[in-house]
Amino acid sequence: MSGPRRDRVLIIEDDALNRELLQAVLEGAGFETHCADDAKTGLQLARRLHPDVILMDVQLPETDGLEATRMLRADAATVAIPVVAVTAHVKKEDEARCLEAGCVLHVSKPVDTRELPALVRGVVARARSAVADRQTS
Ligand code: MN
């Protein structure tokens, strides 16, 4: 028996412990999760899986999370997927850089695991209503 499709989250994070923590929290909250440990793999999975939201670590090897977000924004196949930046930096200018790169939101590490599921649900809901608005206007 298959229920309704669960909201799908793609986690792009190079730190295994962080990745497993985010995955466990979101799976426990009912999300379907997929993981990548670098930007290249993450971009491939984003095109293939069309996740409802991407959690993007900013500090990644080679291509960093902000550059990866710009690439997602530049690709018609992935432009509508909301990206949440996850970073250890807490300065205002870092947050601004995330938003400039096309992220919808910035979350600081360590991520508040109690708030994360509601935060992700909110991002997915806002992206859906933005699509609905475009279709009705
Ligand atoms: Mn990292």
CA 14 to ligand 1 centroid distance, Å:
5
Is residue 84 packed enough to be buried (19+ CB in 10 Å), middle (13-18) or exposed (0-12)?
buried
CA 59 to ligand 1 centroid distance, Å:
4
Q: Residue 1 has what pLDDT? A: 53
Q: Span 86-97, mean pLDDT?
A: 86
CA 116 to ligand 1 centroid distance, Å:
18
Q: Residue 123 has what pLDDT? A: 97
CA 128 to ligand 1 centroid distance, Å:
28
CA 130 to ligand 1 centroid distance, Å:
30
| Share above pLDDT 70 across residues of the chain, in percent, rounded to a whole number | 97
Query: Reduced to 3 states, what is the DSSP secondary structure of residue 12?
Result: strand
Q: Residue 30 has what pLDDT? A: 97
pTM of this structure: 0.94
Q: Residue 56 has what pLDDT? A: 98
Average pLDDT, the chain: 94
Tokens of 130: 């933005």
Q: Report the range of poorest mean pLDDT among 22-26, 74-78, 106-110, 116-120.
A: 106-110
Question: Would you say the C-alpha torsion 52, 57, 61, 63 has a positive or negative sign?
Answer: positive
CA 67 to ligand 1 centroid distance, Å:
14
The predicted-structure confidence for 38-69, as pLDDT tens digits, reads as follows 999 999 999 999 999 999 999 999 999 999 99
Cβ count within 10 A of residue 21: 17
Contacts of 73 (CB under 8 A, 6+ apart): 79, 101, 102
Residue 7 is given by DSSP the state P
| Closest listed residue to residue 56, CA positions, set 124, 67, 48, 113 | 67
